[in-house]
């Protein structure tokens, strides 16, 4: 069979087949591109996170605090001082004669009170009694000698007259030298008798003033002399205390310089027990003439009458007892007096407006301060403003304040400090403020 016998293939592609082939090619190109575009669009749409709406800010919590109403007042400055009570007329007690001590009276025991003229102790009087008898014999002998000389002088005068002399007899004839010697001899004997009598009386040693025995240093049977110390005694009519005043505080007070200056009253309190309510009234009468070389302080001398309460029922104020003093000074007018706990560093205080109850900050310039209070003028502060006493942590100006009592405020401070410590563990919690 000839090849020509077979039917020949067409030379061109049929139209339906060509169309299908073009569609397949377009699909292979367009589909990836479309998928890519859809992926980009989907990525851009779904990869962007929706903004998270912030929760609504909670309403500011009111600041709870203790407050004190501020009012202007007159304030008297009190200058603090301290000292030890010292005895008035502290002396070493001695006898005036020598002898053996034979008796000690109860009034001459350590701590015993005595009155002026009380017999404190007795010395053996035998030797002094003998001396007195001897002195009395000397007086009698001198008196006899004087009487004899007076009789001889009278006889000489009569003999001169009997001899018929017209002129006056001489001094020798009248025996005036002998009379003078006899009179002086009698005076000497009487003086010796008086001395012997005084020495006998001095064997009973008497108290020189009203006082108290600080200590006794002799005992019965001991031989003592005129210079032998028997003990120490002091007067009880008043005591004194030296009160040091810093030169920086002298401008706050006016101290008496002379006895003619009016005394300055001062209140003394127990220096051993600050909680004791006992007090003693004293008066500053004078100041010492020089500053202390070591401290450059001026010492004021205060006197306490009847320190042992012998004439009153006052609590005894013993020698050597430490006391504190509050010396009144000048008066500051129209000032604010606030607790020291209300003042923070740089003399800052927190003030609450009583109308709006909003918190504010003010800086003050102290005029005077002590361990408990600070005094200042504060022209920008109105009477009636509320002073914050609570120690506030992170309390901004303008915050609303709620007044609480002391206990609640203390709990608030503790909770605030705990929260602050948790937020910043390296922060050291300050100590609680004193109420």
| pLDDT (mean) for 129-136 | 94
pLDDT of residue 425: 41
The more confident residue out of 423 and 387 is 387
pLDDT at 71 over 60: yes
pLDDT of residue 416: 40
224-243 pLDDT, tens digit per residue, is 998 899 999 999 999 999 99
pLDDT at 7 over 70: no
Closest of 410, 231, 236 to residue 316, by C-alpha: 236
| pLDDT (mean) for 262-280 | 89
pLDDT at 190 over 90: yes
Share of the chain above pLDDT 70, in %: 83
pLDDT at 136 over 70: yes
| pLDDT (mean) for 321-333 | 92
The more confident residue out of 290 and 12 is 290
pLDDT at 192 over 60: yes
92-102 pLDDT, tens digit per residue, is 999 999 999 99
The whole model's pTM is what?
Answer: 0.65
* Rounded CA separation 335/333 (Å): 6
pLDDT of residue 177: 87
Residue whose structure tokens are 């003990």: 231
pLDDT at 201 over 50: yes
pLDDT of residue 370: 82
Share of the chain above pLDDT 90, in %: 44
The more confident residue out of 314 and 408 is 314
pLDDT of residue 210: 93
| pLDDT (mean) for 60-76 | 88
| pLDDT (mean) for 188-215 | 94
Sign of the torsion formed by the C-alpha atoms of 177, 181, 187 and 190: negative
Q: pLDDT confidence of 22, banded at 50, 70, 90?
A: low
For 142, the 3-state DSSP assignment is: helix
pLDDT at 412 over 50: no
| pLDDT (mean) for 299-309 | 93
pLDDT at 110 over 60: yes
- Residues facing residue 69 across a β-bridge: 386
| pLDDT (mean) for 283-291 | 91
| pLDDT (mean) for 35-57 | 69
pLDDT of residue 193: 94
pLDDT at 13 over 60: no
The more confident residue out of 213 and 428 is 213
Q: pLDDT confidence of 15, banded at 50, 70, 90?
A: low
pLDDT at 411 over 60: no
| pLDDT (mean) for 28-34 | 75
Q: pLDDT confidence of 63, banded at 50, 70, 90?
A: confident
* Rounded CA separation 141/33 (Å): 167
| Max intra-chain CA distance, the chain | 245
**Is the separation of the CB atoms in 103 and 220 below 8 Å?**
yes
* Angle at CA of residue 188, ends 182 and 189, nearest 5°: 90
pLDDT of residue 417: 43
* Rounded CA separation 285/263 (Å): 5
pLDDT at 158 over 50: yes
**Is the separation of the CB atoms in 129 and 237 below 8 Å?**
no
pLDDT at 54 over 90: no
Q: pLDDT confidence of 281, banded at 50, 70, 90?
A: very high
Min mean pLDDT across 72-86, 188-202, 395-409 is at: 395-409
* Rounded CA separation 262/239 (Å): 19
Phi/psi for 360 (5° steps) reads -140, 170
Q: pLDDT confidence of 421, banded at 50, 70, 90?
A: very low
């Amino acid at each position: 069979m000839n090849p020509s016998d077979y039917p020949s293939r067409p030379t061109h592609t049929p139209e339906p087949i060509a169309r299908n082939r073009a569609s397949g090619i377009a699909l292979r190109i367009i589909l990836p591109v479309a998928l890519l575009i859809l992926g980009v669009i989907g990525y851009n749409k779904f990869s962007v996170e929706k903004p998270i709406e912030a929760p609504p800010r909670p309403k500011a919590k009111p600041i709870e605090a203790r407050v004190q109403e501020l009012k202007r007042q007159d304030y008297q400055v009190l200058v603090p001082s301290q000292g030890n009570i010292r005895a008035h007329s502290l002396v070493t007690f001695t006898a005036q004669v020598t002898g053996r001590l034979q008796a000690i009276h109860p009034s001459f025991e350590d701590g015993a009170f005595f009155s002026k003229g009380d017999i404190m102790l007795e010395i053996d009087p035998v030797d002094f009694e003998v001396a007195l008898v001897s002195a009395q014999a000397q007086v009698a002998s001198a008196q006899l000698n004087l009487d004899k000389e007076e009789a001889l002088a009278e006889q000489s005068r009569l003999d001169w007259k009997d001899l018929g002399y017209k002129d006056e007899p001489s001094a020798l004839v009248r025996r005036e030298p002998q009379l003078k010697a006899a009179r002086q001899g009698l005076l000497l004997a009487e003086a010796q008798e008086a001395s012997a009598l005084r020495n006998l009386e001095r064997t009973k040693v008497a108290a020189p003033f009203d006082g108290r025995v600080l200590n006794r240093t002799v005992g019965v049977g001991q031989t003592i002399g005129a210079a032998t110390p028997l003990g120490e005694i002091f007067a009880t009519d008043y005591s004194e205390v030296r009160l040091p005043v810093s030169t920086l505080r002298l401008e706050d007070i006016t101290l008496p310089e002379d006895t003619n200056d009016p005394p300055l009253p001062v209140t003394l309190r127990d220096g051993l027990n600050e909680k004791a309510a006992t007090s003693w009234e004293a008066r500053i009468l004078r100041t010492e003439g020089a500053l202390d070389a070591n401290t450059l302080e001026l010492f004021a001398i205060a006197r306490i009458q009847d320190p042992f309460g012998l004439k009153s029922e006052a609590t005894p104020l013993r020698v050597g007892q430490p006391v504190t003093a509050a010396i009144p000074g000048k008066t500051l007018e129209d000032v604010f007096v606030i607790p020291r706990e209300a003042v923070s560093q740089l003399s800052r205080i927190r003030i609450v407006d009583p109308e709006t109850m909003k918190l504010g900050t003010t800086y003050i310039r102290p005029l005077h301060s002590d361990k408990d209070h600070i005094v200042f003028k504060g022209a920008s502060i109105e009477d009636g403003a509320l002073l914050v006493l609570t120690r506030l942590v992170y309390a901004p100006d303008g915050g609303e304040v709620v007044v609480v009592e002391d206990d609640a405020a203390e709990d608030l401070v503790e909770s605030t400090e705990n929260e602050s410590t948790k937020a910043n563990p390296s922060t050291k919690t300050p100590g609680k403020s004193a109420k």
